[in-house]
Amino acid sequence: MMNSRPPLSRRRLLLGSVALPLLLAGCGQDLKKSEPQAVDLFIESDGDFLAFKPDELTCRTGAVVRLTFHHAGRFLSARHNWVLVYPNQMEAVDKDYEKTEGVISPGDSRVIAVVPMCDKGDTMMTQFTAPAPGDYPFFCSTPGHAVDMNGILHVTA
Ligand SMILES: [Cu+2]
């Protein structure tokens, strides 16, 4: 009778060797889920109008956003950029950079992301991590443009 069944300790060992790879596979999936989501967003000037197209964008909080901006103007030589700021900072930031023709200083804590100034036909990119859920204004900081050339990035939970 004793010889017909493997000893208990050996059965446990066999079970263990099956369970371990499953456990590791489960861990791997969890790691992939917690990796930040990568998102590509595209926005352009509305031809030669002082407006963004689209003027609303959406992404998830924590996403690594690769945003591409295109200056779609064909006739006017005005430069455009794309500046994302924290809520209620647009007017103040816009005013502060009148003296630099809208060129934003690196390290301004009110600013989340900037696409550099573009001449017509240019396409430029910026990358940033989406902040906490909320509505964040973006605008063009060329002096006089922000009043019309602005929009909202909706960051969802
Ligand atoms: Cu502009």
Q: How does pLDDT run across 35-88, given as a tens digit for each residue?
A: 779 999 999 999 999 999 999 999 999 999 999 999 999 998 899 999 999 999
Name the average pLDDT for the chain.
87
63 CB neighbour count, 10 Å cutoff:
17
pLDDT at 12 over 90: no
CA of 133 to the centre of ligand 1 (A): 27
Query: 113 versus 23: which is more confidently predicted?
Result: 113
Q: What is the pLDDT of residue 153?
A: 98
**Reported pTM:** 0.78
CA of 79 to the centre of ligand 1 (A): 6
CA of 46 to the centre of ligand 1 (A): 10
CA of 71 to the centre of ligand 1 (A): 9
CA of 155 to the centre of ligand 1 (A): 23
Query: 59 versus 4: which is more confidently predicted?
Result: 59
CA of 25 to the centre of ligand 1 (A): 50
